[in-house]
């Protein structure tokens, strides 16, 4: 039987992996569950992603794009006259008030790097890219501190279920900015 041409199959597998993790957590992720979710033969998942770590790296890389899109959509970081703490607090609020499942998934994959060394470089890319972006508005040390604080605020909101408090975030971020 000739092989079917399916140029989008790799992407469908990544999308399916994200849906599986979103629905079942990382414990539910396997080549088999992803193949079933993507409606592809099991061999396709192992062809495109030899290991689950490879698949998780691709899923994390794609999930990381969520916050980057929130930054780009806001555009406030490009306005040097805008108050940086206000801009960052607004971006966090927009992101956290969006698709909650996507935000939780992003963090679940991000935190999976604690136990899966293959994910660490991709998890670090998120922080490094954001720090680089923020360093255009402040110094590199402050940029890294802002990233850490933003990460902490997001984790608190996600873990406690408390509503995001933009005023608190603005004040806390403002205290870090010289």
Structure tokens at 113: 């790097």
- What is the token pair recorded at 12? 């469908």
8 Å CB contact between 63 and 26? no
> What confidence score (pLDDT) does residue 1 get?
45
Closest by Cα among 40, 48, 43, 68 to 125: 68
The C-alpha atoms of residue 96 and residue 166 are separated, in whole angstroms, by 10
Average pLDDT, 10 consecutive residues per value, the chain (178 residues)? 71 93 88 95 93 90 82 88 96 88 82 88 88 94 97 94 95 96
Closest CA to 38 of 20, 52, 54: 20
pTM of the full predicted structure? 0.82
Residue among 100, 116, 69 nearest 164 (CA): 100
Here the tokens at position 155 are 């984790």
Give the model's pLDDT for residue 25.
85
CATH no. for 1-50: 1.10.10.60
Ranges of each domain in the chain: 1-50, 63-176
pLDDT of residue 4: 66
Judge whether 82 and 76 are in contact, CB under 8 Å. Answer: yes
Cα 20 to Cα 33: distance, rounded to the nearest angstrom: 7
pLDDT (0 to 100) of residue 3: 55
Architecture of the domain spanning 63-176 = Orthogonal Bundle (1.10)
Residue located via tokens 């909101």: 157
70-108 per-residue burial string, b: 16 or more CB within 10 A, e: under 16: bbeebebbeeeeeebbebbbbbbbebbeeeeeebebbbb
| pLDDT value at residue 91 | 94
């Amino acid at each position: 039987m000739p092989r079917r041409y399916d140029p989008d199959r790799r992407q469908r597998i990544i999308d399916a992996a994200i849906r599986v993790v979103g629905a079942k957590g990382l414990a539910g992720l396997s080549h088999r569950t992803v193949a079933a979710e993507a409606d592809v033969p099991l061999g396709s998942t192992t062809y495109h992603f030899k290991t689950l770590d490879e698949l998780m790296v691709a899923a994390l890389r794609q999930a990381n794009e969520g916050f980057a899109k929130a930054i780009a959509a806001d555009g406030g970081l490009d306005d040097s006259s805008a108050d940086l703490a206000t801009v960052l607090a607004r971006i966090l609020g927009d992101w956290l008030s969006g698709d909650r499942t996507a935000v939780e998934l992003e963090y679940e994959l991000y935190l999976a790097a604690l136990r899966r060394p293959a994910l660490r470089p991709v998890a670090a890319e998120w922080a490094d890219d954001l720090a680089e972006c923020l360093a255009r508005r402040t110094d590199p040390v402050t940029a890294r501190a802002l990233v850490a604080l933003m990460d902490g605020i997001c984790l608190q909101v996600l873990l406690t279920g408390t509503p995001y408090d933009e005023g608190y975030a603005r004040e806390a971020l403002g205290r870090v900015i010289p």
